[in-house]
Amino acid sequence: MSQPTVALIHATSIAIPPVRAAFAQRWPEALVLDLLDQALLTVLEPGGGIGPRATDRMLRIVGLARDSGAGVVQLTCSAYSPLIGTLRQVAPVPVLAIDDVLVETAVQRGRTIGLISTQTLTEQALRRAAERAGKQIELESVVYRDAAEALNRGDGAEHDRLLGRQIASMAHNEVVVLGQASMARVLPTLPAELAARVLTSPDLAVETARAAFDGR
């Protein structure tokens, strides 16, 4: 059997280390290809919506991933998750949104859910996941960008401090969801009991990518 190959499409470089680390730990035999296009964020509509420019750009990048011979294509930018249905039409291999399994797992694990994200799309995805599961949830959601801005400046310690404080303020929930892959780096800095209730996307995304590859 040929080596499994996964193409990761990133809109920001800060998402690369935690996702790469998750693949190295949970699926080390996979060849991981990183496609980084920071302009994916600049072509979004005001408010973060996906318009024609963003659709066209992501379609072209998925085409590159397809042509690389990847067996699975994984988007690490949750802003583009609503476009997954369209993207799957142009690739003969599974195309995955990094937060799909994240929101489904959160709904399975708890009724009271805290969400920290840099945009509102993950909140919408969580509510849709609850509707699909037929569950009533109490969702405490906050759009929080300060930690990501610190990480973009290269200040990882400040990122972890700020995000850790925000997580602690939501610790009364059964589950706390971190909406961006880059946030996963905070987990080792949290108390063990709290970390066990925090959900991040990288590890879950690897499990989903591996299952999708094996099920082709």
pLDDT tens per residue, range 52-108 = 999 999 999 999 999 999 999 999 998 899 999 999 998 999 999 998 899 999 999
The pLDDT value recorded for residue 215 is 82
Q: What percent of the chain lies above the pLDDT cut of 70?
A: 99
Report the pLDDT value the prediction gives residue 94, as an integer from 0 to 100. Answer: 95
pLDDT of residue 119: 86
Rounded CA separation 56/149 (Å): 27
Q: What 3-state class would DSSP assign to 179?
A: coil
- Predicted confidence band at 1 (pLDDT cuts at 50, 70, 90)? low
111 and 81 in a single domain? The answer is no
Answer yes or no: do 113 and 147 share one domain: yes
pLDDT at 33 over 70: yes
Q: Does 110 share its domain with 93? A: no
The answer to whether the beta carbons of residues 115 and 121 sit under 8 Å apart is no
Residues 93 and 150 in one domain: no
CATH code assigned at 111: 3.40.50.1860
Q: In this structure, are 137 and 117 located in the same domain?
A: yes
Angle at 48 between CA 45 and CA 54, to 5 degrees: 50
Same-domain check for residues 172 and 152:
yes
Residue range(s) defining the domain that contains residue 125: 100-200
